[in-house]
Amino acid sequence: TKWHDEIHLRFFFSCLHLTILGMLTLNVTSLTQVVRGTVGKEALLSVSYSSSSSDKPVIKWLLKKNKEKPITVVQSIGTDIIGNLRPEYRNRILVLENGSLLLHDLKLSDEGAYEVEISITDDSFTGEHYIELTVDVPVSKPYIQMMASSVLEYSEHFNLHCSHENGTKPIYSWLKGGKVLTNDSRLLLSYDQKVLTISRVLMSDDDIYTCAVENPISSLKSMPVRLTVYRRSSLYIILSTGGIFLLITLVTVCACWKPSKLVCLPFLLLPVALSLSLSLSLALILHLRM
């Protein structure tokens, strides 16, 4: 019927329109969305395009940084660069036949979102694609700093600091006995995780500690350090033994002292020495409890 013929005709023209549109559309694709670059080295922003035209493509690469206005990195017809490059890109830019962009001698300022626009005269649409480029400096080997390599049980707020000299976007982490540490009620990590604080030291904290630092292109661990924890009872034994040794020494000296008109000085000094020893011991214990 006439109605069916009209439907078939409309369907035919719709298919023809889509076919022509598909032939005129230029598709740009890439196998990666993010490229990790290293300062001083090169980075390839790899893309490819498909077109029914045999003409050379007009290629334009732009760089977008945060909310800044996009800047034109390079424009070319095929691989032939047209116009003048910005000073920061001279002798560092190469456009490949498939539209890819090769950047030499990367700088931190090269980081950002890159957009490529590819068009051909016969095509009615411009193909576009985005690739994110990050540029970093590799991290150097970190090291741990702490006030002492040993600490008394029940001491409070003992800190271990993780530091490194070079590297961008560092992320820190800590290991205890080879296992990754996370925040708990006693082992506290600072906001940037550079500092590990043991709020109240226990014997279980006697272990080997390591800090690690990483960024998008590198990761390194520090030399492991040993933290030794002593029981408080050990301190009491040491002080008691020292006091007894001092007493025996003074008694022995006085016993061997030859009689004279002078009073035995060690016996006169004995109460003073014991008093001083006890005072120092008490002061040390009180200090360690603080």
* Dist CA 135 CA 114 (whole Å): 13
pLDDT at 27: 86
pLDDT at 148: 93
Q: What is the CATH number of domain 143-230?
A: 2.60.40.10
In this prediction the pTM is 0.69
Contact 126, 26 (CB under 8 A): yes
88-95's contacts with Cβ under 8 Å and 24+ in sequence apart are: 95/59, 95/61
Q: DSSP letter string over 189-210?
A: E-TTS-EEEEEE--GGG-EEEE
- What is the torsion angle, in degrees rounded to the nearest 10, for the CA atoms of residue 100, residue 115, residue 45 and residue 51? -30
Contact 155, 201 (CB under 8 A): yes
Residues of the chain with pLDDT under 50: 2-4, 7-9, 11-23, 237, 261-262, 268, 283, 286-290
Instruction: Write the CB contacts of 258 (distance below 8 Å, at least 6 apart in sequence).
Output: none
pLDDT at 190: 95
pLDDT at 154: 93
pLDDT at 66: 83
pLDDT at 8: 47
* Dist CA 150 CA 161 (whole Å): 15
pLDDT at 54: 78
- Residue 151 neighbours by CB distance under 10 Å: 19
Strands 127-136 and 71-77, by their bridges, are unpaired
Name residue, tokens 């080295």.
41
pLDDT at 142: 98
Contact 229, 221 (CB under 8 A): no
CATH 2.60.40.10 is held by the domain 2-136: yes
